[in-house]
Structure 1
Amino acid sequence: MIKRRPAVVVLAAGRGMRFRGAGHKLEQKLAPGADTMLSRTLRHAIESRMRVVVVTTPAFAPAVGKLVAARDVLELPELDDRGRPNPVGMGHSIAAGVAASGDADGWLIVPADMPLLTSASMRAVADALEQFPVAYAQYRGRQGHPVGFSAELYSELVALRGDEGARRLIARYPAQAVELDDPGVLVDVDTAEDLARLQASMAASQPPLPEPLLLQKR
């Protein structure tokens, strides 16, 4: 019997408004000649050997398409019907990604600005979903990503809107913390300063401290 696994939903449709650098934060290189932030996150997701669905924008779709099957690249419009910037909240992105992979046996939510999150951590949270409706990675008692949801929560996930994310689902259902020896579950990159610290840490071949890059969004 083949064991069914959750899908990994990578959220790469945000505008990155807090990043005050040249270009979008997801296209920044982690080191000269290295992966971009987006491609590194995607490679780790792919290494998990679970289906990877990417919610993104037309600007990033070509880069995503080099790593992920076309059927699993979901483009959200950058402009609304009146030509104005289309604010895509995390809740909307989660709903779109889950709806596009409705046959999956659950979902792991992975923000695209977390390039240090390992495939092993993703698999550990996926394993916890075999017993719990909600599970999330934790490092030294601090909640991080991925956050996983079982298939029974499909209807509530596809109903998410705006920036609410999935906080209310984590609070409503029994959620299992998965303690991991992986500071990458806490490290996201929101600002140019975050990126500079991460690049300096990687150049020094040291594990980055999660404190200056503490994960805030869910």
Structure 2
Amino acid sequence: MNRKVWGIILAAGNSRRMGKAKLLLPYKGKSIIRHVVEQSLTSKLAGITVVVNPGIPELKTEASVPGVDKVMLNEKAGQGMSTSIQTGLLSVPANVSAVMMLLGDMPLITSLEINKVIEDYCKQTTFPCIVQSSYKNQNGHPVLFDRNLFSELYKVTGDEGGRSIIKTYKHLVYYSYMEKEMASDIDTQLDYEKLLREERG
């Protein structure tokens, strides 16, 4: 069955561990956030919202590319990832069946992983459900939440994001198995240096 899935790119973190605006760091001639946005745009997502930190004005510019439906400022970014999720949900149209959460600091994510999660969601017959990407028993992003769980997403607090919902409703989780290791997020300077080393081969 064809169901509309909306992407929410979470890009409002304060980069505390990095010490600078990590999403603006260059990778292969583009910013990290631009890689995530462009891969999302080439996927089967019905629409895309990018949630950014108003304290980093350049992020809004980097995210505002043709095809992105909405760039939203999270005025409560300092209160954790949950506020970015809830800010993004406000932009989701009523005819959308589910949302997919994508992290803005995963420059190696591709439209293939995004589409795999969407395709597995469209095969589901039991609702509500959660579809989470997985590789060799390591579960991560992207992760999709059916519309019937939106009310639960509005209840999360702090930096827990969707983890608490996945834990509470683990019986509703379907794992979307990936053929390759999932893209790592870039949290520290060491993570970024590793990314650049891999780029150089």
Q: Shorter-chain TM-score: what band? A: 0.7 to 0.9
Counterpart residue number, 2:198: 201
1:149 aligns with 2:157: no
How far does residue 68 in structure 1 lie from its aligned partner after superposition?
Answer: 4.5
1:29-88 CA deviation, whole Å, 9 max, x = no partner? 013xx111010011111111311111112311122112454x51111237xxxxxxx514
Check 1:129–1:13 CA distance in 2 against 1; reply closer, same or farther (3 A cut): same
SS in 1 for 2:195: helix
1:130-159 CA deviation, whole Å, 9 max, x = no partner? 316101111122111101111111111123
TM superposition score normalised by structure 1: 0.81
RMSD of Structure 2 on Structure 1 (CA): 1.8
Tell me the number of residue pairs that the alignment of Structure 1 and Structure 2 aligns: 190
Separation in structure 2 between the aligned mates of residue 88 and residue 35 of structure 1, nearest angstrom: 28
Separation in structure 2 between the aligned mates of residue 39 and residue 67 of structure 1, nearest angstrom: 12
Separation in structure 1 between the aligned mates of residue 118 and residue 198 of structure 2, nearest angstrom: 29
| Unaligned 5+ runs, structure 1 | 79-85, 205-218
Residues 156 and 164 of structure 2 are in contact (CA less than 8 Å); yes or no, is this contact kept in structure 1? no
Residues 139 and 186 of structure 1 are in contact (CA less than 8 Å); yes or no, is this contact kept in structure 2? no
SS in 1 for 2:26: coil
Counterpart residue number, 1:182: 180
After the TM superposition, which residues 11-160 of structure 1 pair with which residues of structure 2 at under 5 Å, given as runs? Answer: 11-20=10-19, 23-31=20-28, 34-50=29-45, 51-58=47-54, 59=57, 60-69=59-68, 71-77=69-75, 87-103=78-94, 104-130=96-122, 131=124, 133-160=129-156
| Unaligned 5+ runs, structure 2 | none
Separation in structure 1 between the aligned mates of residue 121 and residue 8 of structure 2, nearest angstrom: 15
Point out the structure with the larger strand share: 2
Separation in structure 2 between the aligned mates of residue 134 and residue 12 of structure 1, nearest angstrom: 22
1:163 aligns with 2:159: yes
Separation in structure 1 between the aligned mates of residue 180 and residue 49 of structure 2, nearest angstrom: 23
Residues 131 and 145 of structure 2 are in contact (CA less than 8 Å); yes or no, is this contact kept in structure 1? yes
Check 1:88–1:119 CA distance in 2 against 1; reply closer, same or farther (3 A cut): farther
Counterpart residue number, 1:210: none
TM superposition score normalised by structure 2: 0.87
Separation in structure 2 between the aligned mates of residue 153 and residue 117 of structure 1, nearest angstrom: 25
Counterpart residue number, 1:211: none
